[in-house]
Amino acid sequence: MRYFEGIKTIEDLKQKYKKFVKELHPDLNKEKDTTKEFVEMKKQYEEKFKQVKNTFINSQGEYYEKENEETPEEYAEIIEKLIIIEGLTIEIIGSWIWVTGNTKDNKDYLKELGFKYSSNKKAWYFHTGAYRKRSKKKHTLSEIREMFDNTKIKEQTQLTMS
């Protein structure tokens, strides 16, 4: 199976990867061994990542190129570790990962993974590479969701990390 056909941007790739992790991660599939499919999907993800890692889409739907130092392993590792934690809501907004929900019990773990806390948004975020703010305006998390494509993972109930 070709998991990432038709993907043109890094944001789309990340969203699709998250979907397949949710479906194929061996820890989330107790009734069926999905290890082989999961390994193949990760291999295809890494190949596609190299092709689209510098391609993004803006809020007007226009494609643009931007240097991106992120590696496919960084993003994959974080999603795989977060997806099995109970009570978190994980959102991919543009090329950023935002986490809300039961974060208080998991704050040390989130810090370990490289997340930072935004007190005005009451959410944890992860982003690789340099960030250059374009204006002095502060956006709410809702406004950021409107400006960029976003995908939300509902609360998970598999394992608890304390």
pLDDT digits (tens, 9 = 90+) for 40-58: 999 999 999 988 888 777 6
**Is the pLDDT score of 26 beyond 70?**
yes
Half-sphere exposure of 28 (CA within 13 A, CB side): 19
SS3 19: helix
Look at the block and give the residue holding tokens 């990340």: 14
**Tens digits of per-residue pLDDT, 55-98?**
777 667 777 777 777 778 888 888 888 888 888 898 888 778 89
pLDDT of residue 45: 94
Residue-level pLDDT at 130: 59
Q: pLDDT band at 30, cuts 50/70/90? A: confident
Tell me: pLDDT of 148 over 80. Answer: no
**Tell me, what's the pLDDT at 156?**
44
- CB 92 within 8 Å of CB 162: no
| 157 or 53, higher pLDDT | 53
CA distance 54 to 17: 17
Confidence at 133, pLDDT banded by 50, 70, 90:
low
pLDDT of 25 higher than 70: yes
Q: What percent of the chain has pLDDT over 70?
A: 86
> Average per-residue pLDDT in the chain?
82
Q: Is the pTM of this model over 0.75?
A: no
- Reading phi first (left if > 0) and then psi (alpha if -120 to 50, else beta), residue 6 is in left
